[in-house]
């Protein structure tokens, strides 16, 4: 608890350009949660180097991501928006937690297996202990809730296991966090293959809508989106392509699938795709404009970065000092 509010932690990696999936599945929810909780939203750059990165590119993407958090509507005065690498407590706690995590547990992580297969030439120890750093992120702020996608639930489970193991030995040190899956647990699919999720690392640029795509590009991508053969706008399992477009349309307009079916009753895919494209373009427009303004205001963003790193560091140190004491490190002499 901070000032009577429960604590929320989440983060995103600055790898690739954010997609509509990241926005509707994560960022937009974050904004909705920011009144109810004391929120920490991190750009998790320490996690990013578990796969090889170009330094200049990483720095640029990280800054863009932090700016995008604000452009999406997160008020940086209320929400602690910061770079993970600016708070050394993450790595310090991570080391300690490494000593309370078993190889066998980490071996079961499906993300590690997937990434190891994808980056077979660089299966480094950081990639293996990635979930421990993620546990440190969460536990450092005594987070009560962690909004994540389904793919991260296993990491949240191991976080809880590590915290419970630590608490069982040393007493109640860590808050045990709960996952928070968005209201509908929305999952946006690829526009080219509705069996896959829309992802920022998809090689096919037509599969994803990027948050910075202009209106023409957005409409063109929706026109090309893979649809089905019924030729009617119906929300059903037999039409995964159309169902995905209906999900997107509903997430942007606030309408329900039933209302959408009625609205497009008797109309073809063409009309519907056009409407989805327009709905998405107008959903993203304010964000893009705000982003454009923010990037120009270097001093403002720098100030946010500085202030929020200090705030995060304050809370991080509180937990870290407690943990260091519990495990038996000598106290600092002033
Ligand atoms: P990558 O392809 O690089 O693994 P990603 O696009 O799948 O990345 P993540 O960085 O793993 O995205 O996720 C950031 C956040 O966005 C997570 O909370 C995740 O659940 C959410 N998210 C990502 N893709 C989608 C999607 N297609 N639908 C809904 N939410 C998504
Ligand atoms: N692994 C997450 C990003 C992430 C995270 C976290 C999410 C790192 N640390 C702590 C929630 C809480 C991902 O790839 N989406």
Task: Render pLDDT for 114-144 as a digit per residue (tens, 0 to 9).
Answer: 999 988 999 999 999 999 999 999 999 999 9
Residue 84: is it exposed, middle or buried by C-beta count within 10 angstroms (0-12/13-18/19+)? buried
Catalytic residue of the set 28, 115, 189, 221: 115
CA of 265 to the centre of ligand 2 (A): 41
**In this structure, what token pair is assigned to residue 281?**
């373009």
Look at residues 294, 185, 201, 194 and name the one whose alpha carbon lies nearest to residue 235.
194
Could you tell me the distance, in angstroms and rounded to a whole number, from the CA of residue 10 to the centre of ligand 2?
Answer: 6
**Got the DSSP string for 129-194?**
SHHHHHHHHHHHTT-SEEE--GGGHHHHHHHHHHHHHHHHHHSS-S---EEE--TT---PBPSS-T
Distance 9 CA to ligand 1 centre (A): 16
Of all protein residues, the one whose alpha carbon is nearest to atom 15 of ligand 2 is: 12
Locate the ligand 1 atom nearest the alpha carbon of residue 198 and give its number.
27
Q: Let me know if the fold of 6-180+298-327 is the same as that of 205-293.
A: no
Who lines ligand 2 at CB under 6 A?
A: 9-13, 44, 47, 134, 137-138, 146, 148, 152
Name every residue whose Cβ is closer than 8 Å to that of residue 48 and which is 6 or more positions away in sequence.
13, 14, 15, 58, 62
With CA atoms as reference, report the closest residue to 322 among 98, 138, 171, 157. Answer: 171
Which residue has the least CA distance to atom 9 on ligand 2? 134
Pair 252, 283: CB distance under 8 Å: yes
Model confidence band, residue 102 (pLDDT cutoffs 50, 70, 90): very high
Q: φ and ψ at 241, to 5 degrees?
A: -65, -50
Statement: residue 216 has pLDDT above 60:
yes
Q: Which of 200, 255, 318, 326 is catalytic?
A: 200
Residue 285 alpha carbon to ligand 2 centre in Å: 27
Catalytic residue, candidates 28, 189, 197, 221: 197
CB 182 within 8 A of CB 29: yes
Average pLDDT, the chain: 95
Q: What atom in ligand 2 is closest to the CA of residue 13?
A: 3
Sheet holding 178-180, edge to edge: 80-83, 38-43, 7-12, 145-147, 178-180
Q: Which residues contact 67 (CB under 8 A, 6 or more apart)?
A: 291, 294, 295, 301
Rounded average pLDDT over 182-189: 75
Handedness of CA 128, 129, 132, 137 (dihedral sign): negative
Q: What predicted TM-score, i.e. pTM, was given to this entire model? A: 0.93
Residues 254, 203: contact at Cβ < 8 Å?
Answer: no
User: Above 80 in pLDDT, residue 185?
Assistant: no
**Ligand 1 atom at minimum distance from 201 CA:** 2
Structure tokens, 293: 């303004």
| Residues 6+ away with beta carbon under 8 Å from 315 | 2, 40, 140, 141, 142
pLDDT band at 184 (very low <50, low <70, confident <90, very high): low
Distance, CA 26 to ligand 1 centroid (Å)? 8
| Nearest listed ligand to the Cα of residue 189 | 1
* 261-280 average pLDDT score: 95
Helix (H, G, I), strand (E, B) or coil at 86: helix
Clarify whether 197 is annotated catalytic: yes
pLDDT the model gives residue 183? 61
Q: What is the pLDDT of residue 201?
A: 83
Q: Please state which of the ranges 1-5, 44-48, 147-151, 317-321 shows the lowest mean pLDDT.
A: 147-151
- Identify the pLDDT of residue 150: 81
Question: Is the distance from the beta carbon of residue 16 to the nearest atom of ligand 1 less than 6 Å?
Answer: yes
Q: What is the mean pLDDT of residues 224-241?
A: 91
Given this model, what pLDDT does residue 334 score? 85
CATH number of 6-180+298-327: 3.40.50.620
* CATH fold of 205-293: Tyrosyl-Transfer RNA Synthetase (1.10.240)
Tell me the domain boundaries of the chain.
6-180+298-327, 205-293
Ligand 2: atom nearest CA of 134 is 9
């Amino acid at each position: 608890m901070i000032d009577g509010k429960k604590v929320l932690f989440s983060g995103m990696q600055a790898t690739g350009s954010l997609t509509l999936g990241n926005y509707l599945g994560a960022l937009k929810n974050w904004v909705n949660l920011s009144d109810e909780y004391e929120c920490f939203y991190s750009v998790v750059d320490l996690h990013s180097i578990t796969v090889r990165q170009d330094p200049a590119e990483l720095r640029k993407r990280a800054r863009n991501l932090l700016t995008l958090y604000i452009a999406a509507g997160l008020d940086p005065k209320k929400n602690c928006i910061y770079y993970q690498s600016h708070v050394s407590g993450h790595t310090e706690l991570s080391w300690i937690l490494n000593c309370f995590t078993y190889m066998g547990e980490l071996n079961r992580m499906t993300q590690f297996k997937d990434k190891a297969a994808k980056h077979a030439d660089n299966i480094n120890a950081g990639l293996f202990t990635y979930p421990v750093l993620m546990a440190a992120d969460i536990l450092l702020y005594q987070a009560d809730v962690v909004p994540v996608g389904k793919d991260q639930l296993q990491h949240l489970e191991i976080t809880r296991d590590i915290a419970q193991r630590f608490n069982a030995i040393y007493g109640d040190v860590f808050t045990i966090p709960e996952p928070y899956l968005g209201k509908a647990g929305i999952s946006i699919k690829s526009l080219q293959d509705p069996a896959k999720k829309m992802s920022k690392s998809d090689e096919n640029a037509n599969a994803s809508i990027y948050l910075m795509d202009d209106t023409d590009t957005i409409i063109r991508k929706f026109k090309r989106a893979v649809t089905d053969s019924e030729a009617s706008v119906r929300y059903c399992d037999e039409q995964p392509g159309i169902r995905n477009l209906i999900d997107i349309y509903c997430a942007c307009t606030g309408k329900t699938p039933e209302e959408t079916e009625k609205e497009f009753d008797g109309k073809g895919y063409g009309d519907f795709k056009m409407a989805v494209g327009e709905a998405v373009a107008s959903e993203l427009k304010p964000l893009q404009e705000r982003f454009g303004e923010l990037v120009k205001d270097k001093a403002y963003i720098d100030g946010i970065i500085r202030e929020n790193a200090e705030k995060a560091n304050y809370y991080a140190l509180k937990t870290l000092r407690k943990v260091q004491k519990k495990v038996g490190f000598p106290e600092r002499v002033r």
